[in-house]
Structure 1
């Protein structure tokens, strides 16, 4: 069983079923052909077309199948951690402030 713990992209051949375990909360995005998703602890199955997304919880298990004649291309996007997002935000604010200070303050 594959474990998803980072952002990754791969293809599923038509008729192939791949079992997976989600190690970190992530977002699944479908590109290419359609896929069929079965999730642990969920009575529903999901039929996802290209462009559809599905948010996945840490610890759940998945079974992914490509349906039809086309290969499915799938990406898993693990969001950045809260502390990384905060540091990125402070860096952007610092850059903007520096640019304003270099340009001088304008008075009206």
Structure 2
């Protein structure tokens, strides 16, 4: 099992499943291929295509597999630690006010 605590991109082979534990709030983005994701605290499974994202909570455990016979690339991006809470609060406040601002996520 891999622990995700910073930005990382990795390949999920077509015939393998990756087990991941999220150590801090993170965003998963599919870069290539189609993946399925099962979350430890969710009854639903997710099928994600390239460009799709999934926000992950600290402490979650994930199981990720590539759909079909092709490998997939997934990227995890963590928000900057210094401003993580402030940016989350500002984004929620702006959303309530009907204003869109950046969400503080870094690009992998």
How does the TM-score come out when normalised to structure 2?
0.74
Structure 1: 5+ residue runs without aligned partners?
87-108
How many residues are paired up?
A: 86
Match of 2:42 in 1: 42
Residue deviations 1:2-38 (CA, integer Å, cap 9, x gap): 1000000010111210111000100000011100000
Larger Rg: 1
Hey, what's the Cα distance between the residues in 1 that align with 2:48 and 2:13?
A: 15
Q: CA RMSD in A?
A: 1.7
Contact 1:9 1:76 (C-alpha < 8 Å) held by counterparts: yes
| TM superposition shift of 1:69 | 2.0
| Separation of aligned partners in 1, 2:44 and 2:83 | 34
Q: Where has structure 1 moved over 6 Å in runs of 4 or more? A: none
Gapped runs of 5+ residues in structure 2?
87-108
The verdict on how the C-alpha distance between 1:79 and 1:15 changes in structure 2, with shifts beyond 3 A counting, is: same
Alignment of 1:85-96 (within 5 A): none
